[in-house]
Amino acid sequence: MNEVCENAKSFVGGIVSDLGFDLEVSSEWTDEGCVIEFSGEDTQFVLSENGEMLDAFETLLFQVYGRELDREHRFICDAENFRGTRKSELAVMAKFAAKQVREKGVPFTFGELNSTERRMIHLVLKDEEDLSTGSVGEGRDRRLRVTLK
């Protein structure tokens, strides 16, 4: 899998270079998959619009190299610990939703989240015996809903 990660790093590094960004690209294989890290003077560009460019690189990498990854692994693009901070925010949001559902007995539906963010919330709440999570809607209108079992 490390070879896939190195190929992904080279691929993204080439794109970043061709676009003229002042960014260093590094990669690391972890339990989650291939983490591509961006650093340098132009980091603010990959972080703008709530990390939209990071999401775009992840989508592109999955389209190009996704067949070479096991199902449980992903491509994760990050800069300045944006993903770690977002993961913490999502964990807090998941706990808030769980509390609301338990107190009010009404399902809680999250706003727009990408598939990785929905997955993170699923994982945070997976061991809650009285709650279930599920996606509702299609495509870009897909939302995550937390309900009582």
Please tell me the distance from the alpha carbon of residue 84 to that of residue 66, in angstroms, as a whole number.
22
Asked if pLDDT for residue 1 goes beyond 80, the answer is: no
Contact 6, 29 (CB under 8 A): no
Pairing state of beta strands 33-39 and 24-29?
A: antiparallel
Q: Is the pLDDT of residue 75 over 90?
A: yes
**Is residue 97's pLDDT more than 70?**
yes
Q: Maximum distance among all alpha carbons in the chain? A: 53
What is the average pLDDT value for the chain, to the nearest integer? Answer: 93
- CATH numbers and ranges of domains, the chain: 2-80 (3.30.300.20), 88-148 (3.30.1370.50)
pLDDT tens digits for range 25-56: 999 999 989 999 999 999 999 999 989 999 99
Give whole-number Cα distances, 67 to 38, 70, 131, 135, in Å: 24, 8, 33, 24
